[in-house]
Amino acid sequence: MKKIIECVPNISTSDPRTVELILEEIKKTINAFLLDYTFDDYYNRLVVSFVGNKESVLEASLNAAFKALELIDMRKHKGQHPRIGAVDVVPFIPIKNVTMENCIELARKFGETLAEKCSVPVYLYGDAATKPERKDLDWIRKGEYEKLAEMMIKSERKPDFGPAIFNPKAGATVTGARKLMAGFNVNLGTADLKVAKKIAKALHAKKGGFSNVKAMAASIPEKNITQIGMSISDFEKTPIYRVFELLKVEAARYNVPIIDSEFCGMTPLKALIDIAAYYVKIGNLTEDRVLEIAVQNAIEKGKGESNS
């Protein structure tokens, strides 16, 4: 496969049977490959990552969304993560030999089809946004599902596709195109959500933190701890080591230990390289000097040359 797009649907469920049926729609699509999925009760949210070419990614994302809309009822949904609908956010991300324009086109097709077939209001965000303020997912999601009915009345919140009519079961869907970003969660050794929120605030772009970082605090009651959940939209400009070091500084202020961390979804290699390069002072490390990538590149190049 020469052209590769990633799609990362964020869906408002943590019911294992619902998750299974949604994933099945992706798995059964030819040339679509499931990479990863995570879900948990405290966010009550399923994050799926899969790749494929244009056709397969569109087909799999639509079928997964249809299944989610069939099975999820937003009137019963509770969760710590902001959300506006059952199929909450569906970004398309260029990975290999694909432009951002290709992904914008995919997002538009996805949104148009979903709105038409399921009567769900659809908003375009990120690089697919039709107005500057709609680039920002949080702007679109303001008031969340609970205030969606009243927000939709406002002219500036008119959906890009579908009816401007509240759909109580489905809520609304946000789709778009964006660069690869890193999801990075850090677990704190405190159950005090107030403290976790203060730490998140120090990192969050809109509250004076790093310009490419969104940070939120959540409780993980079964472990009696809290978590700082971050998405870092440009992890080359705002590398993870820098975010982590500031998080350490802020956590130390409240005498809160850092338990561990995790990438949410897939880990971009460049993010790893930047972390390693900083801490052990590697001067010259690029992706093509990582053995596994170099081997792959060499073989692909060899194939191309022997074909020509």
CB of 146 to a copy of itself, least distance (A): 33
Nearer to a copy of itself, 167 or 185 (CB): 185
Binding residues for a copy of itself restricted to 162-201, rule: CB under 8 A: 180, 186
Query: What is residue 222's DSSP assignment?
Result: G
CB of 26 to a copy of itself, least distance (A): 11
Number of chain residues interacting with a copy of itself (CB under 8 A)? 53
CB 274 within 8 A of CB 232: no
Residue 155 contacts a copy of itself per CB under 8 A: no
Q: Residues near 118 by Cβ (< 8 Å), separated by ≥ 6?
A: 65, 66, 69, 170
Of 16-24, 117-125, 214-222, 284-292, which part binds a copy of itself (CB under 8 A)?
284-292
Say whether 221 sits in a helix, a strand or coil: helix
CB 178 within 8 A of CB 98: no
Residue 261 contacts a copy of itself per CB under 8 A: yes
Residue 237 neighbours by CB distance under 10 Å: 11
Residue 283 contacts a copy of itself per CB under 8 A: yes
CB of 195 to a copy of itself, least distance (A): 18
Choosing from 284, 304, 307, 308, the residue that interacts with a copy of itself (CB under 8 A) is: 284
User: What is the DSSP code string of 43-107?
Assistant: TTEEEEEEEE-HHHHHHHHHHHHHHHHHH--GGG---SS--SBSEEEEEEEEEES--HHHHHHHH
Cα–Cα dist 243/181, whole Å: 14
Choosing from 244, 250, 251, 256, the residue that interacts with a copy of itself (CB under 8 A) is: 244
Of 122-130, 134-142, 227-235, 277-285, which part binds a copy of itself (CB under 8 A)?
277-285
Nearer to a copy of itself, 53 or 113 (CB): 53
Choosing from 34, 100, 149, 191, the residue that interacts with a copy of itself (CB under 8 A) is: 34
Cα–Cα dist 119/121, whole Å: 7
Cα–Cα dist 71/58, whole Å: 20
Q: Which of 33, 34, 81, 258 is catalytic?
A: 81
Residue 23 contacts a copy of itself per CB under 8 A: no
Residue 272 contacts a copy of itself per CB under 8 A: yes
Residue 139 contacts a copy of itself per CB under 8 A: no
Cα–Cα dist 307/244, whole Å: 46
Say whether 200 sits in a helix, a strand or coil: helix
141: closest CA among 179, 182, 171, 105?
Answer: 171
Cα–Cα dist 85/79, whole Å: 12
Residue 299 contacts a copy of itself per CB under 8 A: yes
Overall size of the chain counted in residues: 308
Residue 133 contacts a copy of itself per CB under 8 A: no
Say whether 189 sits in a helix, a strand or coil: coil
Choosing from 140, 240, 251, 256, the residue that interacts with a copy of itself (CB under 8 A) is: 240
Residue 304 contacts a copy of itself per CB under 8 A: no
Tokens (6 digits) for 266:
């897939």
Task: Decide if 81 is catalytic.
Answer: yes
**Helix or strand run (H / E) with residue 297:** helix 291-307
Q: Token pair 């809520």 is at which residue?
A: 171
**Residues labelled as active-site residues:** 81
Using CB under 8 A as the criterion, which residues of the chain lie in contact with a copy of itself when the complex forms? 1, 4, 6, 30-31, 33-36, 51, 95-96, 180, 186, 240-241, 244, 258-263, 266-269, 272-273, 275-276, 278-285, 287, 289-296, 298-299, 301-302, 306
